[in-house]
Structure 1
Amino acid sequence: MIIMRGGFKMATTSQWSGTEVISRLDRIPVWPYPVSVLWVIGIGYLLAFFDITNVGFGLPVIIKQFHISAAASAIPITASLLGYILGAYLNSTLADLRGRKVGIISATILFTVGSVATAVSFDWTWLVIWRFITGMGIGAEIAAISAYMSEMSPAPIRGRFTGWANVFAFSGFAVVPFVALALVPHFSWGWRGLFVVGALGGLTLFWSTHIAESPRWLLAHHREEEAQAVVRAAEQLAEKKLGHALPQPKILADETHVQQFPTSALFKPPYIGRLFLLLAIWIFIYLSDYAWLGLAPTFLVDKGYSLSNSIVFLLVTGIGYPVGALLAAWLGDQFERKYSIVTGVLVWVVGLIAVGTVPSPAVIYIAGFFLSAALTFFFPLLYALTAESFSTHARASGVALTDGVGHVGGALAPILALAAYGAFGASGFMMAFFYMAVTGLIGAILLPFGIAATRKSLEMVHQDSSQTASG
């Protein structure tokens, strides 16, 4: 029997139960899909993350061309964060109801249209509006890809390949300063070119329609034959890579699929506790990291360094971004995920304290490298842990209501960091960095209360939590 769905050709023979479909997927020890899937997801992710920070490099020129006060320059960043929260939730609801592929495609369209429209904006108001749309797409993309990678990856390698997707993502962070330096200072239209580069993620739309749908999502929506065909194709490719047959599957727990609006499922046991715990963790993490990402150059300039020196510090220390993401891919499944995240956050905290107390060039270079590496080490693992914490029926919505809404912390971060900076006079620099360290530390303290899901089938995690809640 041949099924054609969304350009993906699938062949099926004997019928498997839903439990067997997932058990067969979760025993595969290698990435069982074409490498092109990683490239499509990765490049889209890279350019979405490129769009997160590119506006900061264009703003110094934008506010001059549009005759905007420095006080108003933060409005596009705030608009993007608000768009992130709304877009993550709306698109994740779509992804939970209509499919992970639909969620990824619609998110890519949003941030591509937003970036192109920002690039051609000739009015401050419209620029802010289109940055809001871009933010919607970025938030939507992160939630949709987190759910997709969590569900597509076999249990033994889920952390590793979530990490690989984020190698692309955080490379987007590292690339922005180089593209900005090549365009913005040398051309009056340079800031517009910077946004056009971010829109190149739209090119992935030509291939994203051909990637497989999540078999877990298909099972949750009673499309068993299609889910079986996706896993059968995955088995065949895995056996070709391995050069031998896969072992017989151990039949694992099945997931009970409830038919209700995704968000409503999140406000019932056992998920309501996870929802608020992860929301608190994300808020405190964003209170810390958005202060560093957004205000580090400002604080360093006020400490006596020139703006060019501050940018060079961030360019050099940005080498840590891909290093941390590669470490996450390598170690993501070696240890219990939540404790690996705690380790990464603690390195982050120590780095902030070091810069705050001894802001010499040598310390800034060394601690800044570890800050960049720590950030991109624990973020992919925290994305994975967040997606693992919710059932298939509401997984994308769960990511949106924790990571997405958690960006409230990102919006408050510069306000609170600047308040700490201004309140302590000569010690303001140190206290601003201590504020970043303390908020990050609170996130680390909360993390051990999360679930243990490393190398476990998502269905087993769901069953264990359901039994605990009913008990």
Structure 2
Amino acid sequence: MVATTLLDKSQGARHSAAARIDRLPIGSFQKQIMWLVAYVFFFELGDLNNFGFAAPELRIQWKLSIATIGLITSSAFMGMFVGAIAGGWFSDKVGRKKALILTTICYSISSLLNAFAWNVPGLLVTRFLTGVGLSAMTVVAITYISEMFPAKKRGTYQGWVMTIGLFGIPFSALVAGELIPRIHYGWRLVFVFGALGLFMPLFSRRLEESPRWYENQGRFAEADKALDRIEARSIADSGPLPPLGDEPATTGKHSKFSDLFTPTYLKRTLMLIGVYVFQTLGLFGFMAWVPTLLAARGFPVVKSLLWVSIMYFGAPVGALIAAIISDKWERKYLIAITSVVIAGFGVVYGLSNAMVPIVILGFCVAMFIQTFAPLLYAYTPECYPTEIRSSGSGVAYGAGRLANSLGPMLIAFLFTHYGYKSVFVYIAATWLLVAVIITAFGPKTKDRVLA
């Protein structure tokens, strides 16, 4: 055990948290993180789409227009903007583990409040609060994964987390499909289901705070203890660890939020903002609106929800693809290629009128969208050092959500004035812009040691 500790007491030498984490094999500790974060994502991703599942029934019960549905959807994205910025900053200040627990509680309670909304103003408020919690949790979670897994595996396990978590979307669609047509208040129960992430803190005791974060704060003794516990579990799983190299020790840094916009990081901050803005417009333009648009075209609500639930089973398949390929090739190029593929399938989907091609093409779009997401979630934290990693991720993620506060109203305008097909031409254009931006301006990050 002496050979694996952070401090070599005979020489006073010190090894960085990055060096010690990157030499670890995948064992029970990392898999515990994977399952717990996946559990949180299961309900987060389901809740992200729950209003889309409830909207067709709400249009009937509350006699809402497409424009009103767009306004309620936009309120959630305004909340996501606030949550992403606040969550990223909060995580950099108080630590990844504490922030993950608190943001999960926040989105779960807010989701529950949706079930008790009785009018449009009330739903505007509860969707805003839900958005705050959802995006704050996501920013914290992707940062936590990037810091707790070895460099050669962090993309793979971001993919596995999303593979498991994404079952929350089709499962929520199935729950909605069963409850909404059968019970007058069934749409309310869908939001109750989305609140079940509230149990996550009960299982979080054995999670460790990020040693990289401790180290960056100058709390070296706490980093030592956390790493000793992690390494002890790894040795129990797999035996002795590989020897450490002779890299210099890491010292605490004091970068601040505003450094994201200094010459050192401004280019990548603007690049990520552009990527997140257009991918968010494209992603939610498809995922959040398909049930409502199908119903508006005359397909029965029951059929549209069934078709959407089948389509969304493509989502975990896509994340599994990401888990397989993410650490094999340079991530920025994988992101660009996937974006182009999504654009192609999206246009063909919009030209389809029959059930079979709608379901098959929708499955493909959902699949490749969720190949894209884990790739981007692994890539984003790699663009920043520990002291502003979560803040940088939050700014980019939040900018996309802010832009999409206008996205639903734009889709409502296109659908109303130019028809169903125009929506999917617009969605394809957003994905092509993602490919151009990341190819032209994104740094390469494969196997990069996180500073």
Q: Is TM (by shorter chain) over 0.5? A: yes
Higher mean alpha-carbon deviation, 39-48 vs 55-64, is at 55-64
Q: What is residue 445 of structure 1 aligned with on the other side?
A: 436
Tell me: CA distance 1:417–1:132, structure 2 relative to 1, closer, same or farther (3 Å). Answer: closer
Letter in 2 for 1:155: A
How far apart in 2 are the matches of 1:303 and 1:130?
A: 29
1:124-163 matched pairs, under 5 angstroms? 124-163=120-159
Q: What is residue 450 of structure 2 aligned with on the other side?
A: 458
| 1:26–1:154 CA contact under 8 A, matched in 2 | yes
Task: Structure 2: state its 5+ residue gaps.
Answer: none
Task: State the Cα deviation string for residues 319-375 of structure 1 (Å, max 9, x = none).
Answer: 211101111122221111111112221221110122234444443233222111101
How far apart in 2 are the matches of 1:143 and 1:173?
A: 19
Q: What is residue 249 of structure 1 aligned with on the other side?
A: 244
Higher mean alpha-carbon deviation, 288-297 vs 367-376, is at 288-297
Tell me: CA distance 1:140–1:17, structure 2 relative to 1, closer, same or farther (3 Å). Answer: farther
Higher mean alpha-carbon deviation, 404-413 vs 108-117, is at 404-413
Tell me: CA distance 1:120–1:103, structure 2 relative to 1, closer, same or farther (3 Å). Answer: same
Task: State the Cα deviation string for residues 73-107 of structure 1 (Å, max 9, x = none).
Answer: 33332211111110111122111011111211221
Among 176, 180, 193, which residue is 2:189 paired with? 193
1:23-34 matched pairs, under 5 angstroms? 23-31=19-27, 33=29
* SS of match in other structure, 1:406: helix
1:293-304 matched pairs, under 5 angstroms? 293-301=287-295
Letter in 1 for 2:399: V
How far apart in 1 are the matches of 2:64 and 2:411?
A: 24
Q: What is residue 312 of structure 2 aligned with on the other side?
A: 318
Tell me: CA distance 1:431–1:256, structure 2 relative to 1, closer, same or farther (3 Å). Answer: farther
Q: What is residue 253 of structure 2 aligned with on the other side?
A: 258
Q: What is residue 343 of structure 2 aligned with on the other side?
A: 349
Among 331, 354, 370, which residue is 1:337 paired with? 331
| 2:16–2:250 CA contact under 8 A, matched in 1 | no
| 1:18–1:219 CA contact under 8 A, matched in 2 | no
Deviation of the 1:384 alpha carbon: 1.2
How far apart in 1 are the matches of 2:263 and 2:248?
A: 19
Among 391, 403, 409, which residue is 2:397 paired with? 403
| 2:311–2:363 CA contact under 8 A, matched in 1 | yes
Q: What is residue 5 of structure 1 aligned with on the other side?
A: none
How far apart in 2 are the matches of 1:65 and 1:55?
A: 14
Task: State the Cα deviation string for residues 21-52 of structure 1 (Å, max 9, x = none).
Answer: 32121122324615332222111121111111
Tell me: CA distance 1:304–1:94, structure 2 relative to 1, closer, same or farther (3 Å). Answer: closer
* SS of match in other structure, 1:154: coil
What do you get for the CA RMSD once the two structures are aligned? 2.6
Higher mean alpha-carbon deviation, 117-126 vs 389-398, is at 117-126
Tell me: CA distance 1:357–1:69, structure 2 relative to 1, closer, same or farther (3 Å). Answer: closer
* SS of match in other structure, 1:150: helix
How far apart in 2 are the matches of 1:401 and 1:44?
A: 22
Q: What is residue 178 of structure 1 aligned with on the other side?
A: 174
Aligned length: 446
Task: Structure 1: state its 5+ residue gaps.
Answer: 1-10, 460-471
Among 95, 111, 117, which residue is 1:115 paired with? 111
Q: Percent identity?
A: 29
Task: State the Cα deviation string for residues 213-237 of structure 1 (Å, max 9, x = none).
Answer: 0011000011112212222333333
Higher mean alpha-carbon deviation, 352-361 vs 173-182, is at 352-361
Among 77, 82, 85, which residue is 2:81 paired with? 85
Among 384, 394, 415, which residue is 2:388 paired with? 394
How far apart in 2 are the matches of 1:366 and 1:91?
A: 37
| 1:108–1:141 CA contact under 8 A, matched in 2 | yes
| 1:282–1:402 CA contact under 8 A, matched in 2 | yes
How far apart in 2 are the matches of 1:202 and 1:383?
A: 23
Deviation of the 1:423 alpha carbon: 5.1
How far apart in 2 are the matches of 1:374 and 1:125?
A: 35
How far apart in 1 are the matches of 2:164 and 2:396?
A: 22
Letter in 2 for 1:174: P
How far apart in 1 are the matches of 2:400 and 2:312?
A: 24
Among 319, 322, 330, which residue is 1:328 paired with? 322
How far apart in 1 are the matches of 2:151 and 2:216?
A: 18
Deviation of the 1:306 alpha carbon: 4.5
Deviation of the 1:282 alpha carbon: 0.8
* SS of match in other structure, 2:24: coil
How far apart in 2 are the matches of 1:317 and 1:443?
A: 23
| 1:18–1:224 CA contact under 8 A, matched in 2 | no
Q: What is residue 375 of structure 1 aligned with on the other side?
A: 369
Deviation of the 1:266 alpha carbon: 0.8
